[in-house]
Amino acid sequence: MPVARDRLSRSVDIAALFAARRQSSIVGVYQDQPELDMALFGSPRPNAATRTQTVGVGTITARGRGGLGTPRGRGSRTPLGRENIPPPGSARRRRGRGSNSALPAWYPRTPLRDVTAVVRAIERRRERLGGSDGLEIRSPMPQVRMNLDSSEATPIAHLEHSNRIMSPKPSTAVKGCPSTIGKVPKILQHITNQASGDPDSLTPQKKLLNSIDTVEKVVMEELRKLKRTPSAKKAEREKRVRTLMSMR
């Protein structure tokens, strides 16, 4: 950026400056800096082979001795060096994009802008969704995008709101006799239909607890019924006989 030569002090808009810089760097000029990329990132670029920079290239390949022979491929920005390589088996949850940023890709980036509220909201949401369902942060975001200019508070309100809508039905997996498993979905449907009468008075947690109790009762009933069948009784008798015989 050309520097103004007068001595007037002008207030600098960091955000605009950064956005403009990012635009130009995305559009331009990667082939001018093969040395830099080689030195820092090690990803092979077509021009690099023709360069004969002694220190830069030699150093990098020597330092990559920790089994780094495979080229990382273009666009990968992992710097070389033994300490930059994660240990094998460490879970690296990539979010499907190149950068490992805490903020979603659509969020406008401004250097050193206070993003405390946003990051906290994202963390809270991630905790709430949990690891079981793989819901991405993406889905409710389009709503948030429109309100970004106003304040930081509204995105959070939207996130919370959409969360409540999307909270999953109490889909507890019941472990029990194999024969009862087929019936469980029917039982659950029955329960949720019953509960739909007064949804507002109970929180999702209470609803879940109630349904768990109901499911337990029903399953225990089923189990008892099964035990009373003649084949079950016969099997039990045989088992007892076997135990006694083994003790002789």
Partner 1 sequence: MDAGSMNTSSSLKAQSHFPLQQQFLPRMTSKENNKPPAPVELIPQDYSLHHKAKSTKPRRHIPQSSERTLDAPDIVDDFYLNLLDWGSSNVLAIALGNTIYLWDASDGSTSELVTVDEEDGPVTSVNWAPDGRHIAIGLNNSHVQLWDSTSNRQLRTLSGGHRSRVGSLAWNNHILTTGGMDGQIINNDQLASGGNDNLVHIWDRSTTLSNSATQWLHRLEDHTSAVKALAWCPFQGNLLATGGGGGDRSIKFWNTHTGACLNSIDTGSQVCALLWNKNERELLSSHGFTQNQLAVWKYPSMVKMAELNGHTSRVLYMAQSPDGCTIATAAGDETLRFWNVFGVPEMAAKPAIKAKPEPFFHLNRIR
18: exposed, middle or buried (Cβ count in 10 Å: 0-12, 13-18, 19+): middle
CA distances from 90 to 85, 93, 95, 98, 114 (A): 11, 9, 15, 18, 31
CB of 92 to partner 1, least distance (A): 9
Residue number with CB closer to partner 1 (28 or 197)? 28
Q: Which residues contact 133 (CB under 8 A, 6 or more apart)?
A: 168
Check residue 153 for interaction with partner 1 (CB under 8 A).
no
Number of residues forming the site for partner 1 (CB under 8 A): 46
Contact between 179 and partner 1 per CB under 8 A: no
Buried b (16+ CB within 10 A) or exposed e, 107-141: beeeeeeebeebeebbeebeeebeeeeebeeeebb
Stretch that binds partner 1, among 25-33, 128-136, 204-212, 238-246 (CB under 8 A): 25-33
Q: What is the dihedral sign for C-alpha 149, 155, 158, 162?
A: positive
CA-to-CA distance for 230 and 92, rounded, in angstroms?
Answer: 55
Nearest to partner 1 of 102, 157 (CB atom): 102
Interaction of residue 176 with partner 1, rule CB under 8 A:
no
Chain residues 77-136 in contact with partner 1, contact rule CB under 8 A: 77-79, 81-87, 90-91, 99-103, 109-116, 119-120
Task: For the CB of residue 102, give the shortest distance to partner 1 in the complex, in Å.
Answer: 4
Site residues (vs partner 1, CB under 8 A): 1, 12, 14, 17-18, 21, 29, 32-33, 35-36, 39-40, 55-56, 59, 62-63, 65, 77-79, 81-87, 90-91, 99-103, 109-116, 119-120
